[in-house]
Structure 1
C-alpha cells in the first residue's frame, strides 16, 4: 500500500468535517474568519512538517521505502508526507467550528494582537 492510498481516507474525513464546519460558519456569518484561521493554521503545520521532517530524514531517524512513494520530493521528504498536516488542519478546523469554538473575528484583534474586550 502506498502512502498516498493510506492518506486518502484521512483526507476525505477531514474534507467532510471541514465542509460541514464551513456550512455552519456561513450560517453564523463567519465564513471568512473560519477560512482565514484554517489557512493560517494549515500553513503553519505544513511549514513545520517540511522543516522538521527534512531535518529528521537528514539525521537518518527514518526513511520512506521507494516503492511506497510517488517519487516527488520536497527536499528529502516525499510530497505525500504533506497530506497528514493538511488532513489534520481540515479536521481540527471543522471540529473546532462544530464543537462551538469561539469564532475568529478581525474586529476583535487590535494592532498589537491583544483583544479589545475587558478594557484592553
Structure 2
C-alpha cells in the first residue's frame, strides 16, 4: 500500500465522521458559520508548521520514505502525502467535538 492510498483512507474516514457529525447536529448551520474562520486559520498554521518541521526532520535524517511508496510530489523534502494527516486531524477534531458535546434540552 502506498502512502498516497493510506493518506486517502485517513482523509476519507475523517471526512465521513465530519459529515455524520454535521448531519446529526441540529444547529449545523450556526456551527459551520462560526467554525470556518477558525478552521481556516488553524489549517494554515498547521500546514505551515508541518512543512517546516517535516522538512527539518527529513533533512536531519530522522524520517525517511521509500521512494517506491510515495507519489513523487514534494514540497521541499516533504512528500505531499505527509500533509494528509494534519488535514485529517482538522476534519476529525471538530467532528468529534460535535458528536461528543452536551446538547441543551
Task: Report the TM-score, using the length of structure 1 for normalisation.
Answer: 0.74
Count how many residue pairs are aligned between Structure 1 and Structure 2. 100
Report the RMSD for the aligned CA atoms in angstroms.
1.7
Q: Does 1:26 align with 2:61?
A: no
Mapped partners of 1:21, 1:37: distance in 2: 18
Gaps of 5+ in 1: 102-120
Residues 30-89 of structure 1: per-residue CA shift (max 9 Å, x gap): 321122222222222211111100001111111111100011000000001101111111
In the alignment, what sits opposite 1:64?
Answer: 65
Gaps of 5+ in 2: none
Larger gyration radius, structure 1 or structure 2: 1
